[in-house]
Structure 1
Amino acid sequence: MDQKTFDALLDRFLSEDVSRKEAERVLHSLEDDNMRRQWLAAIEGLLENKQLHGLSDPARRDAIRMAILGKKSSAPVKKVRLLRRYIPYAAAAVIIAAIALVLYKPGRPGKELLAQQPQDASQVLPGGNKAMLILSDGRRITLDTADNGTIASQGNVQVIKLDSGQLAYNPSDAVGKGKAIGYSTLVTPKGGQFRITLPDGSKVWLNAASTLRFPNAFAGGEREVQLTGEAYFEVAKNPAMPFKVKVNDMAVQVLGTHFNVMAYPDEPGIRTTLLEGAVKVQHGESAVQLEPGQQANLSLSGKMTTKNDVDVEEVVAWKNGYFHFNRESLQGVMRQIGRWYDAEIAYEGEIAPRQFGGKIERSSSVTEVMKILELSRVHYRIEGKKIIVMP
């Protein structure tokens, strides 16, 4: 593209008078390093001008980007993948937001709903590091209000709150020596998450509305924990003592590896995703061996299937502080929102099926998240801690 053509296209782009075909031409021009630098300089200057559109607000940029990914047409998704292939993620987000100015001009149907619809979101807040620890003797410790340091002893193990959102079980021969090994349970509420280092050194991130039951010290031929909800595991290697995660009558067996298990009762199945190492997922007589990037799905009917080339970034986004949707159903999106914001989700009328894609920080307010969906013509209202989705 020569300089004259670029200048003309840039002028039309910034005046929001570019066609969809021309917008695609913009995207393809980003393959060239020099052209990409010119576009970035022009677009970043545009985004910094709040008087034009307010896109200097990072949350608003994410909202626009999600709106593109949430459209029914598959073309926008293809464009985003093209961008991610050729330019860094941060630069892609800037340019995607600018392209949204073309695809979502002010005054289009549904846009005015953002300003006109009153919402009461004061009771629907983002989640945080909240959990309760139930000790083997029945004592309950609210971890988000407990002071840092040693908070209990269980057998020969000290229970230590390291800092906000982290708990450790550290063996100590001087503490509680001779006591029988018991079990502790870590419980996160809706709107909570927590991280724990188990007695063997394995690290576990527990998502909202989840429960992890584990022994105060591992003994015998294996290390077994029980899970409901969702957790990400980084298992300490010990070939002599395999690690096992039990979810109802399903088991994930490992020696040392990184994997994620999602086992909420309101989800359509139990998904085990392997990031590193190897695991065996077993249910009754059925068993599958996973390799990194694979996912085992145990359906409600008991059927086990395997999926290859899984987007592991999407799977563990919750652990890294993001919602990450990739062709996720509206109901699936709302289940995640309900768990993280501790909100009841309800539906009115007939909701048309649709899929969403995109990424947004879990620290965002529920209003910001819902406005993103509203840009994709998802209507809603908030009543106290209840989010009602409408056609």
Structure 2
Amino acid sequence: MTEEELKSLLERYANEQCTADEKRLVEAWLNHLEGQSDWSWRDEQHLQLMKARIAQRIEEQKVPVKKIKRIKRYYQLLAIAASFLLIGSGIVLWKHYEEKPLVADHVIALPDQIGGAQLRMSNGTVINLTDLKEGSFNQQGVATIKKEKGNSLVYAVQDQTKEIPLADQWNTLRIPAGTTYQLTLPDGSKVWLNACSELTFPTVFGKESRNVRLKGEAYFEVASQARQPFVVEANGSTVSVLGTAFNISAYSDEPQVLTTLTGGSVAVSLGEHRLVLTPGEQAKADISNRQLGKARVDPEVFLAWKGDYFVFDDLDIQSIMHQVSRWYNTEVVFQGLIPTKKFGGTFSRTKPIEELLSYLEKLGNMHFKLENDSYFKKERRIVVMP
């Protein structure tokens, strides 16, 4: 069956216009493909991402309710079909956009080479977290560091009631390319760090506030303490909360700091500007222009990295390659004039980089070449060409 025939059959199925034999064929086909793969369209996390994007596209069309129901069902089926057709690569690409003017050469530098995840203590001691075994403890002054299952770390202070002159002494958790980490702080707050990120936090929280500093991207679930606000400093912007959940993306090579709220309330500040977010809103802090604004977004798009997915939502190839560089630990070199076509889609970060580049190449009218760096023999460079 060709792609057009498949779409026609699915459209008839969605509109309840196909014959009984065709209906049985579609349902048997979907069930068979699901049984032959390790990915399920009933997988809740992936399905919710897909549904959220479909729902937003439908809402933007502002069509009558009855028509929305038909469209929603049809596009769900198309998304499911597309996911099965591309199941081997873990990619679902639902839309690509018209080309815009071309941009000049550009280089995305190789991420910092720090080896594995590290915790640098305030006294200068560096703990290589890959060397810690699951369940093991490391004692550092008043603090204990425990490695839990997977990339998870618990930092605890033995006695926070004592007057210990350590509130101005800071520890730094550094996460390299290609991995994520979870940190539990002494107050019970949890932080998930994305690739190429750093979280700096005091040895002991101060009495008036709980301050941390972020470089890169992290998702926070902050323990509620009414008299002790939790403050995140990220690339010139500040986020202040009492107890809530939110995501911050503050990479130094990106033009904006994005704060996305999933629950509770946060106040975002940039210089003299300040605004308050409600769930489903995102603050955009433009560091160079010192501008701060907000908009409603789909939070799942900006939290997909926690589930090891890329979600590209109307992004040009340069924005996509920034994410690819940090996850796959590569330098990216753009040669010649590169089109700024926009892409949308979902891709599993557990899949090889070659599969992602292959599909982007087919859709984007551009070419990719993987090569070894002449100095770092084990590192790769991606060359993007028109």
What does the per-residue CA deviation read over 1:106-147, in whole Å, with 9 as the maximum and x for residues that have no partner?
A: xxxxxxxxxxxxxxxxxx9xxxx9411001110111112322
Aligned twin of 2:91: none
C-alpha separation in 2, matches of 1:194 and 1:323: 17
Aligned twin of 1:119: none
Aligned twin of 2:7: 23
Please give the secondary structure, in 2, of the residue aligned with 1:363. Answer: coil
Shift of 1:374: 1.7
C-alpha separation in 2, matches of 1:287 and 1:24: 51
Aligned twin of 1:304: 292
Aligned twin of 2:82: 96
Residue pair 1:130, 1:194 contacting (<8 A) in 2 also:
no
Shift of 1:279: 0.2
Please give the secondary structure, in 2, of the residue aligned with 1:317. Answer: helix
Match of 2:145 among 159, 166, 171: 159
Please give the secondary structure, in 1, of the residue aligned with 2:227. Answer: coil
What does the per-residue CA deviation read over 1:50-83, in whole Å, with 9 as the maximum and x for residues that have no partner?
A: xxxxx96869xxxxxxxxxxxxxx99x99xx989
Match of 1:313 among 291, 296, 300: 300
Q: RMSD of aligned C-alpha atoms? A: 3.6
Aligned twin of 1:387: 382
Q: TM-score, normalised by structure 1?
A: 0.73
The reply on whether 1:132 has 2:127 as its aligned counterpart is: no
Aligned twin of 1:41: 27
Runs of 4+ in 1 over 4 A off after TM superposition: 31-37, 45-49, 55-59, 81-84, 97-100
1:28/1:334 Cα in 2 relative to 1: closer, same or farther (>3 Å)? farther
Please give the secondary structure, in 2, of the residue aligned with 1:331. Answer: helix
Residue pair 1:160, 1:167 contacting (<8 A) in 2 also:
yes
5+ residue gaps in structure 1? 1-13, 50-54, 60-73, 101-123
1:184/1:30 Cα in 2 relative to 1: closer, same or farther (>3 Å)? same
C-alpha separation in 2, matches of 1:217 and 1:41: 58
What does the per-residue CA deviation read over 1:271-293, in whole Å, with 9 as the maximum and x for residues that have no partner?
A: 10000000000111100100001
Aligned twin of 2:215: 228
Indicate the percent of aligned positions where both proteins have the same amino acid: 35
The reply on whether 1:217 has 2:201 as its aligned counterpart is: no
How many residues are matched?
324
Match of 1:349 among 336, 351, 363: 336
Shift of 1:164: 2.4
Residue pair 2:366, 2:384 contacting (<8 A) in 1 also:
yes
Q: TM-score, normalised by structure 2?
A: 0.74
1:322/1:23 Cα in 2 relative to 1: closer, same or farther (>3 Å)? same
Residue pair 1:187, 1:212 contacting (<8 A) in 2 also:
yes
Please give the secondary structure, in 1, of the residue aligned with 2:307. Answer: coil
- Counterpart residue identity of residue 301, structure 1: N
Aligned twin of 1:279: 266
Residue pair 2:151, 2:181 contacting (<8 A) in 1 also:
yes
Residue pair 2:134, 2:149 contacting (<8 A) in 1 also:
yes
Aligned twin of 1:207: 194
Residue pair 2:235, 2:257 contacting (<8 A) in 1 also:
no
Aligned twin of 1:168: 154
Residue pair 2:261, 2:281 contacting (<8 A) in 1 also:
yes
1:381/1:216 Cα in 2 relative to 1: closer, same or farther (>3 Å)? same
